[in-house]
Structure 1
Amino acid sequence: MRWPRSSRSTPVTIMLGFQSAPGALIAANDTTVLALAGLPVTHARTVLADAGLLTDDRLPAVILWARRRLRDLPAAIRTEMDTWVHITLNGQDTPPRRRPRTAITARAYVAWALPALTHWVAAGRQSLREITPDDVRAALPENPTARSLMGRALRSIFSLLKAQKLTFTDPTRGISTGGVPGKIPLPVPTDDIRQALTSPQPARALLTALIAFHGLTSRHLQHLHLTHLDHAHLTVNDRSIPLAAPVMQRMTAYLEYRSQRWPATTNPHLFIHLRTAASDQPVGPLWINRTLGPALTPRRLREDRYLDEARATAGDAKALALLFGLGTKAAQRYTRTFHPPSL
C-alpha cells in the first residue's frame, strides 16, 4: 500500500480521516493500518491520545496470548480463566479487593497451571467448579520446583474464583506444594564486566556502570528521566544516589552522544533509542538486555554488585538493605553466601 506523498509524512492526518465526525474518537485498532504503509503507529497513537481523540479498544497482549494457550479447553474453563486473567491484571477496588499484578506474572501463572488444566480436561472435567482436592493432588508433578510453581498458580486461580463466587470451594486449600529451592547467587567474570564498562557504545557502558556500581534494576533503568539526574546525584524511588566517579564519566559521555544523535527529541527518559526518540515512551527490557550483550543480564550484574557489597560489609544484611533499598529477606540471600575467614 502507498499513500500520496503529502500523506506519507503525516500519519496523524491520515487517522483524522477515520473520524465519523469532527472531534469523534478514533479506535486504537484502526491505527494499525499505518503499519501497512510503514508509518509510525506508536507516535500517531501518542499524539491522538494527548489530543483526547483516541479510544484504546485493544486487548492487552497477555490476554490474547492466554486465550491462544487455552483455546482447546472447554468453554466454561476458558471463561473462568479469562475472569482470572482480567482481575489479576487490573486488580479490583471493590471487596474482595485485589492489587493488580504484572503481565509477566499472569503469563507465568497460566503457563504453570496449564498442565493441570489439560490433565483435568483429559479426565472429563468441563469446569473448574468440578475440581476436587484429589484432582489437584493427581495433577501435581513430582519435580519439587514444578510442583511448587504449579501449586502457586493453582492457589491464585482458585482463591480468586472462590472470592468471585465462581467456584464453591478452593480445592488447593490444605495441600502443601513446597517452595522453590533458592538459587545461590554467583559472581560475574570480571573480564565480562570490564569489557562492557569500556565499550565504545555509550549506552552499553552507562547501563553496565549503573548496575555494576549502584545495583539498579532493569525497571529502574527503563523509567529514569533526565530530571532524575542532579549534578552527581541520581534520584531513584525517592532515594538520592551519589554517583561514583566512573559512572559520572560514562553518564557524561552518554548524554553527549544522546544530544548529538537525537538533538530534537522531547522524550524525557534518560535512555532512548531510534524508535522511542520520536515518542515519550521508555525503552523496553529487551533493548536493555540486547544492549548489555550476551554475556550479561541486569540481574546477574546486580547480584554481582550485591555479593561484592556483602563481602565488603562482612555480611551485614542491614547495611546491604539500606544501600540498595532491599527487603531484609532479599538482603539475607546475599549475606548468607559470605563466610568469615575465622569459620
Structure 2
Amino acid sequence: MDEEPVRGGALLRELALPVRPTTEVLDHAGFLTDERTPAVTAWVERKTAHLPAQMRSEISEWADVMQNGSTIAPRRHPRSDRTIRNHVYAALPALDSGATTLKSLREVTRDDVVAALPAGGTDRSETLSGLRSIFQVLHGRRHVFTNPTTRMKVGMPETRTPISMDVPMLRRLVVDPDPTRAACGSLLIFHGLRPCQLRTLSVTDVIDGRLTIAGRKILLAPHARATLNGYLAYRERMWPNSGNPRLFITQATAGRLTPVTGKWINKVLGASVQALREDRILDEAHASEGDARRLADLFGLTVNAAQRYTATVDHVSFAEYSKRTGQSTTP
C-alpha cells in the first residue's frame, strides 16, 4: 500500500492534533517526513550567528556530521545533542577570538589554537576537546587543509572531591509520602543508579525483588523494594492503560514511549540525581575501606573512576587532626 508521507507539524496543527504524540506514532509506522529544523541545529545557528559567513558554514557542516553521522569515509557515528552543545560552548570563546582577524577556519594555525587556549585545568581540556572535534570532522571532509590540533595534549580536567549529603534530608526522602519521590530516592540512596539509568528503567527491569541494569542483576534493598511496590501500585491507578514501557512516567509521557527528562527527576527529588549517586558511592567507599574493585562491581565504575572515591578514605578530617595534635576544634 502506497501512502503519502505526512510532512511536518503544520498540517497536524490545522487538524487540531497534538504534534509530538502524533508524529511519534507516524514516525514509528514509517509515514512521517519531518521537515522541522532540529532544535540543536537552530541552537548552533543562533550561537554562531555573529561569526563570519564562511566560519558559520564550516561550523554548520560540522554540526550536521555530528548530529547525523557519516556513512562516507571517514565514517562517524551520530553524537548526542548534548555533546554538540558542550563542544560549541567550549570552543566558542576561541572561535570568537579567531573571528576578529580570520574569516575561515582554514586560516587557523597551531599558534592560533595555542594562543586561544586557557592556561590549564578543565577549561583548557574542554576548549581543546571542542576545537579538536570541529577540526577533525572538517579535515576529514576536506573543508580545511590541516588539523591544527593534531598531537596537541588535551590534559586532564580538574577533578572534584565528592562530598556527603545531609543525612536527615536523605531519610526524609526515602519515607516521603509521594510514591514517585520515595521510589526514585530509594533507588539512588540505596543503589546509586546513574541518572540515565533511572530515567530509562523499564517496568520489566524489576522482577522478583531484583533490578536488571546493563546485564547486572541487583538485589533490591528491602526498603527500596517496598517503595517500588508502592510506586507501581500508584502508577497502575494513575495510568492503567499506558503503553509506555518506562518505569517512571508522567501525565505527559504516559501516552508516549519516551522516558522522563533528567530535569523532571531532579525537580521531583528536590536534589541533584548525580549528587545522590555520589553520596551513595562515597558511603560504600568508606564502608569497604577503599575497595575500588567493590565500587566498580556495585556501581559499574571503571577503576580510575572508583579511585576518585577511594582517595577520600585516607583524608583526615579537621576534628581527627585536632585530636591528634591536641588542638581545639572550637574557636
Aligned equivalents of 1:51 and 1:88: distance in 2? Answer: 26
- 2:329 aligned residue: none
- 2:10 aligned residue: 30
2:12–2:18 CA contact under 8 A, matched in 1: no
The answer to whether residue 92 in structure 2 is matched with residue 114 in structure 1 is yes
The amino acid of 2:51's aligned partner reads L
The amino acid of 2:220's aligned partner reads L
SS of the residue 2:212 aligns to: strand
- 1:248 aligned residue: 225
SS of the residue 1:118 aligns to: helix
- 1:40 aligned residue: 18
Q: Which of 64, 70, 80 does residue 92 from structure 1 map onto? A: 70
- 2:278 aligned residue: 303
- 2:303 aligned residue: 328
Q: Which of 290, 302, 310 does residue 267 from structure 2 map onto? A: 290
Q: Which of 77, 80, 90 does residue 102 from structure 1 map onto? A: 80
Deviation string, structure 1 residues 251-306 (Cα, Å, up to 9, x no partner): 0110111111112212111110011111122111111111111xx21110111111
RMSD of aligned residue pairs (Cα, Å):
2.3
- 1:11 aligned residue: none
The answer to whether residue 113 in structure 2 is matched with residue 133 in structure 1 is no
SS of the residue 2:144 aligns to: coil
The answer to whether residue 207 in structure 2 is matched with residue 230 in structure 1 is yes
Deviation string, structure 1 residues 209-243 (Cα, Å, up to 9, x no partner): 11111111111112111111111011111111111
1:314–1:340 CA contact under 8 A, matched in 2: no
The answer to whether residue 245 in structure 2 is matched with residue 268 in structure 1 is yes
Runs of at least 5 residues in structure 1 that lack an aligned partner in the other structure: 1-21
2:8–2:34 CA contact under 8 A, matched in 1: yes
Aligned equivalents of 2:312 and 2:46: distance in 1? Answer: 42
Deviation string, structure 1 residues 31-58 (Cα, Å, up to 9, x no partner): 5626x95x53222112323433212223
**Cα offset for 1:90?**
2.9
The amino acid of 2:10's aligned partner reads D
Aligned equivalents of 2:136 and 2:239: distance in 1? Answer: 50
1:148–1:179 CA contact under 8 A, matched in 2: yes
Aligned equivalents of 1:128 and 1:224: distance in 2? Answer: 43
**Cα offset for 1:174?**
4.3
- 2:34 aligned residue: 56
- 1:217 aligned residue: 194
2:203–2:247 CA contact under 8 A, matched in 1: yes
Aligned equivalents of 2:45 and 2:263: distance in 1? Answer: 24
Aligned-pair identity (%):
41
Aligned equivalents of 2:6 and 2:272: distance in 1? Answer: 40
- 1:148 aligned residue: 125
Deviation string, structure 1 residues 141-172 (Cα, Å, up to 9, x no partner): 34643222211211221122212221111112
Runs of at least 5 residues in structure 2 that lack an aligned partner in the other structure: 322-331
Structure 1 length-normalised TM: 0.86
**Cα offset for 1:84?**
1.4
Aligned pair in 2 of structure 1 residues 339, 31: CA closer, same or farther (>3 Å)? Answer: farther
- 2:45 aligned residue: 67
The amino acid of 1:24's aligned partner reads E
SS of the residue 2:199 aligns to: helix
Aligned equivalents of 2:123 and 2:140: distance in 1? Answer: 26
Aligned equivalents of 1:339 and 1:321: distance in 2? Answer: 19
Structure 2 length-normalised TM: 0.89
Aligned equivalents of 1:340 and 1:144: distance in 2? Answer: 23
- 2:328 aligned residue: none
Aligned pair in 2 of structure 1 residues 50, 136: CA closer, same or farther (>3 Å)? Answer: closer
Aligned equivalents of 1:152 and 1:50: distance in 2? Answer: 35
Count of equivalent residues: 318
